[in-house]
Structure 1
Amino acid sequence: MYCVKNIKDDLFWVGGSDRRLALFENAYPIPNGISYNSYLLLDEKTVLFDTVDRAITGQFFENVESVLAGRTLDYVIINHMEPDHCATLGELIRRYPDVSVVCNAKTIPIIKQFYEFDIDTRAVIVKENDTFCSGRHTFTFLMAPMVHWPEVMVTYDTTDKILFSADAFGTFGAMNGNLFADELYFERDWLADARRYYTNIVGKYGASVQTLLKKAAALDIEILCPLHGPVWRSDIAWYVDKYLTWSSYEPEEKAVMIAYGSIYGNTENAANILACRLADRGVKNIVMYDVSSTHPSTIISEAFRCSHLVFASATYNGGIFSCMEHVLLDLKAHNLQNRTVALLENGSWGVTAGRKMGEIISEMKNMTILDETITIKSSLKEDQMAELGALANLIVASMN
């Protein structure tokens, strides 16, 4: 049976959620599931905004058919061609053979890469600031390349002031009946997943996101309809401000994250003592992560949130402990910048982790590495406690 949600009198959410999927993009853990949002407008012409992932095919088509109630589908607007939003496009064409596909020129070759139906005869090609009228509603299209594929665009309904924002403003998490962000404890229950979604999926492309945000700033947006997560109809400026911060690579908070890679517990012990010394000096809400048991996506998200980062690693095979190296390379790949970093290394012989961590971090933009790298030989000694205190002092001083 269908499960639809009414957004406006003539606009319906016809998406669905997947709580069985363990890894989004086969990479990111989603313990709270994921939603795939699609929207259907009943105007003089019927218009579908994007489709969904193959996992919810049955639910999606039941929703669409129930809203159409016997009408045909006239148009589908493709804002983003990634399969989690377009895996059911081929089936849609089969069911509604006369439907026209509204998209930009960059979308056409990607459609041809995924599908063999004749797109050329049914495509309505749009470009920046083109308009499209479905009857009562008029839409404007804004290109948003690399947010986060090159063909991405967003669609603005000038009639009802709704922005269909593609992957922008999305979040991990399945919908649980409540569709609107103001029906949820969003900051408490959803913000961490929203941040992890942004930083890992779109975080590399901050400059592209900034370009889109400048375009969006010129619009009067009353409703924000992303392709994942809740729909926004209030406090939109608060959420947009988060995107402004994340996409500018400025820290969200003055805070310290400690990530450690420890084999037998000695590096972890030093990290714990450093955390205590920081707390003694008034630092609050310190977070610590074991890189062997914490997924890198969480550490990336927290690195975007925090102003100060500590990386503590054992030396392994003459280099950085492998899980820590993975995290650092991921941070570099996601374009992290503008952070203050402290390093702690350990090893029983040939200690190299600190130098090699510093080399990776130095390749990132505008990263300040504090001078006091602490070197442990196998285990922390009593006479090194003062070094940890001095490093804590340096971190605290750089936070003020």
Structure 2
Amino acid sequence: MHNKNNITDKIFWVGTNDRKTHLFENYWPLPKGVAYNSYIIMDEKVAIVDTVERGTMETYIDNIESVLGDRKADYLIINHMEPDHSGSIRTLVERYPEMKIVGNKKTFPMLERFYGIKNNLLEVKEGDQLDLGLHKLNFYMVPMLHWPETMVTFESNNGILFSGDAFGAFGTLDGGIFDDELDLEYLEEEISRYYSNIVGKYGRPTQNALAKLSGLDLKMICATHGPIWRSHIDDIIAKYDKWSKYQTDEGCVIVYASMYGNTEKMADNIARHLVKKGIKKVRIHDSSKTHPSYIINDIFKYRGVILGSCAYNGDIFPSMETLINELEHMAIKDHVLGVFGSKSWGGGGLKRLNKFAEAIKWETIEATPEALCAPHAEDFDQCEALAEGMANRLKDLYK
């Protein structure tokens, strides 16, 4: 890194961009890559805040050395132990053997089990302060946002919150590191897809964290992925507040699984009737083609969800099963659900979708069309009834 990336005159971004990894956590697609953010605070004592995924280690060490020069790191702050942020810890410990590792009581068992490190530890508790000189670091526990050991670090001199994975985003930092230097419109889906898929399950812990941090005078939020927030702090906090309350807009996500197009015809028919009834925001996804992360992102945006599956070996189609397992696991709340399907000789996907409806405990629409082989007039009538039930309920909710 030939240019130092200053956040203030004494705080630096030393993170890395990863444009090679296809799947985050080996599951979520990364079409725009991902950034791993790490920070250095230069003072009487030097602190590194979080590290990066080990695949970008060489660049990371160069970035650190370009800031530190001959100085050593005194402290390493670990806000979160997930390996995309802790993967370089062992290398830093080898380079700076006297460096103290700062974490909480839940951090250190993970540190030992992941990396075999158990010396030079400095345990901090809720509200503790670490004095670096001019910079004072205060620590706040935010458990299950999104791991049990997660904490955040507040640098009170400049009003900077080092927030770990909270307020993060997919997407690399292309030329800038601050929100007002980057094209946020280009990153918009990557910001919401990051929340909905990585943090989304943890709505209540997110609300708890927002309440706890609401008293801090934030001038900047430095997350471990995505842009550094300084001009749009209120916006990103408002988004997290809305998303973690499962607040949605008027609209409907239709997802279908179809082998030969018959169930897809039903999906298109339902969509047509939704639009005729005044629902403009309709999003249709083929569960075999669209990765669940994009579907889940849309479900976090819109109140209505309609799922349909063809038969597959007398049961639900595999890609739809994957999706509903994911939705059940994430325990997304407060939606209106419709289900439909098709079958050929025995059962189809509908019975499994009905079980999902019971498990997820969303409000449901009564009409449940199920076509035999191909949809006929009476099936399309039921599709219209499903669409009408959904449209009426959404209109009622968004008066």
Same fold (TM over 0.5): yes
Equivalent-residue separation in structure 1 for 2:2 and 2:367 (angstroms): 61
Equivalent-residue separation in structure 2 for 1:132 and 1:392 (angstroms): 58
Aligned residue in 2 for 1:283: 279
1:185 is displaced (CA, Å) by 3.0
Equivalent-residue separation in structure 2 for 1:332 and 1:249 (angstroms): 15
The 1:358–1:383 alpha-carbon spacing in structure 2 relative to 1, beyond 3 Å, is closer
Q: Which runs of 4+ in 1 moved over 3 A?
A: 1-4
Out of 301, 320, 329, which is 1:333 matched to? 329
Aligned residue in 1 for 2:374: 379
Equivalent-residue separation in structure 2 for 1:293 and 1:352 (angstroms): 20
> For residue 166 of structure 1, what is the amino acid of its counterpart?
G
- 2:199 aligned with 1:202, yes or no? yes
> For residue 246 of structure 1, what is the amino acid of its counterpart?
W
- Give SS of 1:208's match: helix
Aligned residue in 2 for 1:146: 144
Deviations 1:146-197 (A, max 9, x none): 11111110001111111000011111111101111122231x2212112211
Equivalent-residue separation in structure 1 for 2:228 and 2:5 (angstroms): 11
Aligned residue in 2 for 1:244: 241
- 2:387 aligned with 1:392, yes or no? yes
1:363 is displaced (CA, Å) by 1.1
Once the two structures are superposed, the pairs formed by residues 200-349 of structure 1 within 5 Å of their partners are 200-251=197-248, 253-349=249-345
The answer to whether the 8 A contact 1:328-1:361 is kept is no
Corresponding residue pairs, total: 395
- 2:96 aligned with 1:96, yes or no? yes
The answer to whether the 8 A contact 2:23-2:29 is kept is yes
1:277 is displaced (CA, Å) by 1.6
1:242 is displaced (CA, Å) by 1.2
- Give SS of 2:224's match: coil
Out of 339, 350, 356, which is 1:354 matched to? 350
The answer to whether the 8 A contact 1:3-1:14 is kept is no
1:2 is displaced (CA, Å) by 4.2
Aligned residue in 2 for 1:10: 10
- 2:109 aligned with 1:114, yes or no? no
Deviates more, 1:235-244 or 1:382-391: 382-391
> For residue 224 of structure 1, what is the amino acid of its counterpart?
I
Equivalent-residue separation in structure 1 for 2:173 and 2:17 (angstroms): 6
Deviates more, 1:30-39 or 1:352-361: 352-361
Deviates more, 1:311-320 or 1:337-346: 311-320
- 2:26 aligned with 1:22, yes or no? no
- Give SS of 2:251's match: strand
Deviates more, 1:240-249 or 1:225-234: 240-249
The answer to whether the 8 A contact 1:77-1:103 is kept is yes
Deviates more, 1:200-209 or 1:148-157: 200-209
Aligned residue in 1 for 2:83: 83
Deviations 1:304-359 (A, max 9, x none): 11100010111222221111011011001011110001111101122342232121
> For residue 320 of structure 1, what is the amino acid of its counterpart?
I
The answer to whether the 8 A contact 1:14-1:64 is kept is yes
Equivalent-residue separation in structure 1 for 2:357 and 2:179 (angstroms): 37
The answer to whether the 8 A contact 2:250-2:281 is kept is no
The answer to whether the 8 A contact 1:256-1:306 is kept is yes
- Give SS of 1:204's match: coil
Deviates more, 1:32-41 or 1:376-385: 376-385
1:250 is displaced (CA, Å) by 2.5
1:222 is displaced (CA, Å) by 0.9
Out of 360, 364, 368, which is 1:369 matched to? 364
The 1:27–1:83 alpha-carbon spacing in structure 2 relative to 1, beyond 3 Å, is same
Equivalent-residue separation in structure 2 for 1:87 and 1:60 (angstroms): 11
Equivalent-residue separation in structure 2 for 1:87 and 1:196 (angstroms): 23
Aligned residue in 1 for 2:130: 132
1:3 is displaced (CA, Å) by 5.3
Deviations 1:23-58 (A, max 9, x none): 111111101101000000111111110111111111
Deviations 1:92-117 (A, max 9, x none): 01111111111111111111112234
- The gaps in structure 2 that reach 5 residues or longer are none
The 1:15–1:352 alpha-carbon spacing in structure 2 relative to 1, beyond 3 Å, is same
Equivalent-residue separation in structure 2 for 1:311 and 1:158 (angstroms): 48
Equivalent-residue separation in structure 2 for 1:364 and 1:161 (angstroms): 41
Equivalent-residue separation in structure 1 for 2:182 and 2:137 (angstroms): 29
Equivalent-residue separation in structure 2 for 1:352 and 1:24 (angstroms): 33
The answer to whether the 8 A contact 2:14-2:63 is kept is yes
Deviations 1:60-119 (A, max 9, x none): 1111111112211111101011110111101101111111111111111111112234x3
Taking only the aligned residue pairs, the percentage that are identical comes to: 39
The answer to whether the 8 A contact 1:271-1:312 is kept is yes
> For residue 31 of structure 1, what is the amino acid of its counterpart?
P
> For residue 218 of structure 1, what is the amino acid of its counterpart?
G
- The gaps in structure 1 that reach 5 residues or longer are none
Provide TM-score, normalisation by structure 2: 0.96
> For residue 349 of structure 2, what is the amino acid of its counterpart?
A
Equivalent-residue separation in structure 1 for 2:275 and 2:182 (angstroms): 33
